[in-house]
């Protein structure tokens, strides 16, 4: 058992909350940042839903990635930092710079205070969005040597993830002064939902369960959040993870129709609304031309294979994720348990 203090940024997030569970289970003490201390009760409730009562082994600091206040206090005495928090613009914040600048500045802010506080290693949660976007269709799976092509047709979120990860590696090379960095690049993250506030990837399973009209021909990799938390812990503690990035994916990518098939086969009557038909590409493109933002984003990915490989994480770290099918089912089961599908709310 370990007793080192680990900072996890953005503790109310889906991935972050599961990382906290994993760290506590491994014996670590955890400090986490939230934008407002009013979120402490919410985070503790999520952890109880995940099966752990953290007590005084978990502490909270109010800190926002857009300001310096609180960050020195947050990292003080920490051996490691897991940084996954990233500003998410909403409402009127739709310009590209509203995504990119806060993400880059936030990563650099965390790395600087971690370095100055004598932290040993930072594990940065990046994304497949920093690896696999903007490329021409290719036949091989994406791996850690790939970087998103910023000259391609990519969304602001993907650009922000790419530039913030690039900035992190540049900082370590130029100003790190011994601070170590490991990066995890997850694909779409599924798994047990701990609260009603869930991620975009979870929203896909909810929409399928709620009976969306059909399945667009889009492809994605998937990973269970519990396995992703394992990967973060391995990236934090393994000596060979220093200076490396690791793609987090379970097996191979799936088409949305395949995800729907898993739900129908495994969830019985609860999956009665899951669509059986695939929406033709021309329908999505027509809706995109009419300006619908969701279908405009989907149109970029129609028919594009987005497979990636976790061979590196398996080989170097011994990481063994569960099958994507189990992640899909665990997501649906937790949405049902919390009353978040079928028109009901928890």
Number of H helices, E strands in the chain: 12, 13
Report the candidate in 54, 52, 57, 7 with the shortest Cα–Cα distance to residue 34.
7
**What pLDDT score does 20 carry?**
98
State phi, psi for 149 to the nearest 5 degrees: -85, 105
The reported pLDDT for the residue numbered 116 is 97
State the pLDDT confidence band at 345, using cuts at 50, 70 and 90: very low
CATH class held by domain 5-191+221-251+308-320? alpha beta
252 or 100, which is more confident: 252
Distance CA 243, CA 246 (A): 10
- Taking the C-alpha atoms of residue 314 and residue 2, their distance in angstroms, rounded to an integer, is 23
With cut-offs at 50, 70 and 90, classify the pLDDT of residue 284.
Answer: confident
pLDDT above 70 as % of the chain: 95
- pLDDT per position as a tens digit, 19-34: 999 999 999 999 999 9
161 an active-site residue?
Answer: yes
Vertex 235 angle, CA 188 and 63, to 5°:
75
Query: Residue 90: is its pLDDT beyond 60?
Result: no
The three-state DSSP-derived secondary structure of 64-126 is: CCCCCCCHHHHHCCCCEEEECCCCCCCCCCCCHHHHHHHHHHHHHHHHHHHHHCCCCEEEEEC
- Which position has the higher pLDDT, 157 or 25? 25
- The lowest-confidence range among 9-13, 95-99, 230-234, 269-273 is 95-99
Tens of pLDDT, residues 300-337: 788 889 999 999 999 999 999 999 999 999 999 999 99
Q: What are the structural domain ranges in the chain?
A: 5-191+221-251+308-320
pLDDT at 344: 45
Average pLDDT, the chain: 92
Most confident of 36-45, 154-163, 191-200: 36-45
pLDDT at 229 over 60: yes
Contact yes or no for 32/43 (Cβ under 8 A): yes
pLDDT, mean of residues 77-106: 81
Catalytic one among 161, 206, 273, 312?
Answer: 161
């Amino acid at each position: 058992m370990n007793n080192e203090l680990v900072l996890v940024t953005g503790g109310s997030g889906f991935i972050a909350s599961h990382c906290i569970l994993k760290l506590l289970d491994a014996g670590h003490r955890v400090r986490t940042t939230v934008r407002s201390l009013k979120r402490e009760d919410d985070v503790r409730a999520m952890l109880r839903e995940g099966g752990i009562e953290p007590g005084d082994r978990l502490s909270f600091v109010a800190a926002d990635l857009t300001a310096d206040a609180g960050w020195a206090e947050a990292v003080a005495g920490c051996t490691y930092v897991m940084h996954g928090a990233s500003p998410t613009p909403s409402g009127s914040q739709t310009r590209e710079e509203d995504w990119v600048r806060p993400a880059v500045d936030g990563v650099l802010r965390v790395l600087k205070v971690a370095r100055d506080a004598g932290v040993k290693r930072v594990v940065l949660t990046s994304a497949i969005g920093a690896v696999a976007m903007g490329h021409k269709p290719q036949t091989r799976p994406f791996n850690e040597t790939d970087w998103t092509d910023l000259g391609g047709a990519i969304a602001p979120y993907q650009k922000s993830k790419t530039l913030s990860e690039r900035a992190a590696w540049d900082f370590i090379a130029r100003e790190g002064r011994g601070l170590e960095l490991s990066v995890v690049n997850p694909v779409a993250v599924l798994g047990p939902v701990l609260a009603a506030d869930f991620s975009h990837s979870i929203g896909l399973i909810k929409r399928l369960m709620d009976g969306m009209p059909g399945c667009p021909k889009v492809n994605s990799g998937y990973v269970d959040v519990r396995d992703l938390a394992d990967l973060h812990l391995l990236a934090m503690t393994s000596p060979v993870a220093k200076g490396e990035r690791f793609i987090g994916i379970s097996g191979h990518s799936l088409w949305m129709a395949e995800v729907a098939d898993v739900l129908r086969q495994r969830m019985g009557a609860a999956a009665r609304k899951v669509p059986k038909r695939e929406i033709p590409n021309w329908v999505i493109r027509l809706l995109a031309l009419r300006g619908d933002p969701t279908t405009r984003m989907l149109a970029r990915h129609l028919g594009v294979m987005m497979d990636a490989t976790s061979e590196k994480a398996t080989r170097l770290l011994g990481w063994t994720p569960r099958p994507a099918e189990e992640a899909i089912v665990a997501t649906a089961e937790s949405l049902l348990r919390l009353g978040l599908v079928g028109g009901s709310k928890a």
